[in-house]
Amino acid sequence: MRILFTSLSCLIDPSSGAAISVRTILRALADRGHDVMSVSGACFDKAQKPSVVEMLKWSGFQKDADSLFWRYQDGPVTHLARPFRSHRAADATLEMINDLTETCSNVIGSFLPDTIISYGSTPYEKSIRRLAQEKKIGSVFYLANPGYKSRETFRDADLVFTDSIATHDLYKDRLNLDSTVIGKFIAQLDAARPSKSARHVTFINPSFHKGVTLFYRIAEMMNATLPSMKFLVVESRSNLTDVEDQTGLPFSQMRNIRRIGLQTDMTDVFSRTCVLLMPSVWHESGGRTAIEALSLGIPVVSANHGGLPEHLGDGALRFDVPNVMRENPQLIPPPSVALPWVSALAQLWTDHDYWVERSHAASQQWTQHEPSERIKMIETDLLDMTNAKRSA
């Protein structure tokens, strides 16, 4: 079976959890003997470099001498990216959309895919899904974002794959959309346990939706009661400086917080992490970094909504976030809201036996994410869709 992924957004994007998940799925399908490739625009959720070319080089792409593409080889999977003037999808012009559509159409004509996988709702993805229908090619929408509001977005998708029951139920209620839950596809990481002097409580992507105001209250209370606890903040799509400018929260004055930028490889981050903190206030469909932490036996302290309960199970300490915060993510919570989180973190930081107990629970929960049977299910669904399209 020949499988093509395409989107305006680059699939080699370390700031996009959906991109990382789809890459993992594509790699697993290729390892099972299928011909797999991706074609995308060179758009990134959080560009780390000022120009498109610099961003492609930073991401590991190399210029293809014989075409307009830049190439990234992920084992048996070839990723092609087509650069334009901007690396922001929001800046895409009609000319850019038409150019990428024509480029992908040429790839489709030469690669002859049986299935096209995509995500996103820009005019580009919609045009490719329409093209797939015209050519009787199976079209799959990968859905791991709670933000789509229109049923029309999914009109030309033959299958919708989603990563959690929670997201399936959300779209069933909102749009009467049927989807197939495939779970989260995550490769187990390899990271050393942190030494006592290097250990941190890690918080990734300090945005309002990810719970940065709750994080502030937790860090503030910890600074007063347990100043030995150090927080590591990975500034991927969002950063604390912008939050401080918008809210006045004095992150720059807090000595128990250390910051690093977006990482292309999370190994170093997890090698310094003894607890992962995930106080998300929005619908976290899959909680990718939390599952990565489970794979390493790192205890997780997380919110208790969206897809987090089903994916993290007993492997995490989970706390409810007040609805008023979920409705207004910029709200700064009182200490009473942060107190359960502070207590859990304090026990994990000071009680080694308790940390070991929670580490074992995390490792046990990770076994629920073993992907071999689920990739077979995806393979079967794709084959059934392909055969149905051919016989139609």
196 pLDDT exceeds 70? no
For the chain, the straight-line distance linking the first and the last C-alpha, in angstroms and rounded, comes to 18
DSSP 333-367: PPHHHHHHHHHHHHHHHH-HHHHHHHHHHHHHHHG
Both structure tokens of 180: 């197939």
CATH architecture of 196-369: 3-Layer(aba) Sandwich (3.40)
Considering the four listed CATH numbers 2.20.25.160, 1.10.357.10, 1.10.3720.10, 3.40.50.2000, the one that applies to the domain covering 2-185+371-391 is 3.40.50.2000
Tens digit of pLDDT for each residue in 201-213? 999 999 999 999 9
Q: Residue 180: its pLDDT value, please?
A: 97
Alpha carbon distances (Å) from 300 to 134, 136, 192, 220, 275: 46, 45, 17, 20, 6
pLDDT digits (tens, 9 = 90+) for 162-185: 999 999 999 999 999 999 999 999
Asked whether the beta carbons of 143 and 161 are under 8 A apart, the reply is yes
The whole-number pLDDT of residue 194 equals 63
Q: Could you give the residue range(s) of every CATH 3.40.50.2000 domain in the chain? A: 2-185+371-391, 196-369
Distance of alpha carbon 50 from alpha carbon 221, whole angstroms:
38
| Least-confidence region, from 185-194, 208-217, 284-293 | 185-194
Least confident of 59-68, 143-152, 326-335: 59-68
The average confidence (pLDDT) of the chain is 92
The model's pLDDT over 9-26, given as tens digits with 9 standing for 90+, comes to 999 988 788 899 999 999
* DSSP per-residue letters across 144-155: --TT---GGGGT
| Residue 203 · residue 232 · CB < 8 Å | yes
- Give residue-wise pLDDT tens across range 300-339: 999 999 999 999 999 999 999 999 999 999 999 999 999 9
Please tell me the pTM assigned to this model: 0.84
> What is d(CA 341, CA 335) in angstroms, rounded to the nearest whole number?
10
Give the whole-angstrom CA distance, residue 239 versus residue 249: 13
